[in-house]
Structure 1
Amino acid sequence: MVRFSGEFEEICAKKFEPDSKIGILSSVSPDGYPHLSLITSIGVKTKKTLMWGQFSRGLSKTYLADNPKTGFLVVSPDQYWWTGKALHAGSVVKGEDFEYFNNKPLFRYNSYCGFGAVHYGEIKEVSAGEKLPLPRILLGSVTSALLKKGAAKYCLQAASGGDRPAKKIPPYGLKLCSNLACLKFIAWVDTDGFPRIIPALQGLPLDADNLVFSASPYGELLKTIPPQAKAAVFLANLALESLLLQGRWLPLNRHGRFRGGIFAADKVYNSMLPLNRYIYPPEELPRVYG
């Protein structure tokens, strides 16, 4: 069982320092979906304050202006992870923290761009550090593969009007998700309005519209996601290729026992620079006249 408290552990400041860690921040879009961004600069200011550097400006910064409730997740290089909730508490464009981020070795000699701002979050909840249970994750991947046949039947029964699948997830997204080394994180909006993020490395593509997740290793948290809740899945590999899927959560139960769930994609967002935008539904590009 994941344990939560109202402040960071002493060890977090040190564990969050390396730029090689994985940092995920979630805001909430106006239509209620979690919006996840890869922000490896996440760090600890104080036991009750989160901070992160803004390298580029995307939709998450726009959403934070309207809704300051955020969720975050950090995976350290030694495979410990933390998740929590924070209230966005503003940003600065100069000062000690601004200099700290821009003087990091990775950015100090960056000739084209540095951090444009430093943001702060007031901690509302943070988990204790836990080691990723790799054997249970591997078992969960095997179980996800075994669930695929039954999950496919469930998806066909759930489809309305006999519509053909839209094939929303692009081929490179399916390839990314199929790789067992792909990092996968699932998020949903909790009952208090804050996004919650957990690792979900066991997920596998069911088809070009759905992913399937077994209950291992964090079934007790997956079980708290309400049926048909708006959710998001963030996919990334160690080359920092990533993709954001937004959709709905469909729990899989058998004889009253929770077995996992299906994530049914509604929207697909390219989270990589230089062009962050939705690729499904496709956006109509403005016409350019010569």
Structure 2
Amino acid sequence: MKKINVERDAKDFASPYKVALIATHDEEKDVHITLLSSLMNRGDDEMVVGEFVKGLSKQFFHERPRAGFLIMNLAREFWTGTMDFYDKKTEGPEYITFNEMTLFRFNTYFGVHTVHYAELREISEKRKLNMAGIAANMVRVILASALFKGREVPVFNPWTRRHTAKAGTLLFLGFSGDDGYPRLLPVIQGKSVSRSRILLTPAPYKKLAEGLKDGDRASLFAASLDMEAVLLKGTYRRLPGGLGAVDVDRVYNCMPPVHRYIYPETPWEAVTEF
């Protein structure tokens, strides 16, 4: 589908109370996933996103404009798609609209300071999150955990290990499609099984994972309902029994106040000039 069903979907897209993920490519060509609840449509063929916190993703929007997205509303319905970033502005009607939203208007510390514009390339039909399928595959992952731990490399710190092992953490998988655009799908049934591996199943959304091959680079965005999140990047492994895993070798802290890689650890630099 090339156009947004504005009459049906615009209200969900305009709500700040949603899960909205944007996937771009980083400097290593890994998929970089960001939670940006300000993502919304502009008519039926464009998307806009309001920037209110500095991070690497906004830099990547315009260095490598090909992007993927996933939007999920409070009714657990979701859309996926791809788009191309082409402009950014610090004024205009969208800038005013964002800053008049309750979420930003009454925020003491920050509002939207830049609006990024993207041309819609494609968008899926609305899908309902398959909770029964997710639960069934979660059981499969738990039962297989002891068999597929992988190498015990100390990539995750204790918080990341606990966070990614909890049943309440929402996991989303990102990878590069054959057309060069990042793709996103929910893998909520996934969990960490060691200090460097996330075990998962592509089911119940196997079709969304088409094109993901053994040995490909893949990323996982792990977020809790308490708004705690971490981004994991690594190599995808196809395993027996319809299972898969991501062997993680890069970890990015995407929570304020400091966005930075925590594995491999980024050295701190002293500020000597103001």
Aligning the two structures, in what range does the TM-score lie when normalised by the shorter sequence? over 0.9
Equivalent residue, structure 1, for 2:205: 218
Contact 1:268 1:280 in 2 (8 A): yes
In the alignment, which residue of structure 2 is the partner of 1:243?
230
Which residue does 1:202 correspond to in 2?
189
- 8 Å contact kept, 1:185–1:198: yes
CA offsets, 1:221-277, max 9 Å, x none? 3353021111100010111110000111011135xxxx0201100100000000000
Is 2:32–2:219's contact at 8 Å kept on the other side of the alignment? yes
SS at match of 2:14: coil
Q: Of 178, 181, 197, which residue of structure 2 is paired with 1:191? A: 178
Unaligned segments of structure 2, at least 5 residues: none
The 8 Å contact of residues 140 and 215 in structure 1, kept in 2 or not, is answered as: no
Contact residue 22 and residue 40 of structure 1 kept, 8 A: yes
One-letter amino acid of the structure 2 residue matched with residue 261 of structure 1: G
Pairing partner for 2:135 from 138, 144, 147 = 138
1:29 counterpart residue number: 26
Gaps of 5+ in 1: 157-164
The letter of the residue matching 1:13 is A
The 3-state SS of whatever aligns with 1:81 is: strand
Percent of residue pairs bearing the same amino acid type: 28
Structure 1 partner of 2:158: 171
SS for the counterpart of 2:255 is: coil
**Paired residue type of 1:8:** I
Match of 1:160 in 2: none
Contact in 1 for aligned 2:62/2:86 (Cα 8 Å): no
Residue 218 of structure 1: CA displacement?
1.1
Contact 1:21–1:40 (8 Å) recurs in 2? yes
Give, as a single letter, the amino acid of the residue that structure 2 aligns with 1:148.
S
Q: TM-score when scaled to structure 2?
A: 0.94
Distance 1:69 1:141 in 2: 32
Give deviations 1:47-71, integer Å, cap 9, x for gaps. Answer: 1111111011211122222210011
Structure 2: distance between partners of 1:28 and 1:288: 28
Letter in 2 for 1:54: E
Equivalent position of 2:102 in the other structure? 105
Q: Is the Cα–Cα contact under 8 Å of residues 9 and 128 in structure 1 kept in the other structure?
A: no
Change over 3 Å in CA distance of 1:205–1:89 after alignment to 2: same
RMSD over aligned Cα atoms: 1.5
- Per the alignment, residue 58 of structure 1 pairs with 55
Q: TM-score when scaled to structure 1?
A: 0.89
Is 1:117 the counterpart of 2:114? The answer is: yes
CA contact (8 A) 2:85 2:118 kept: yes
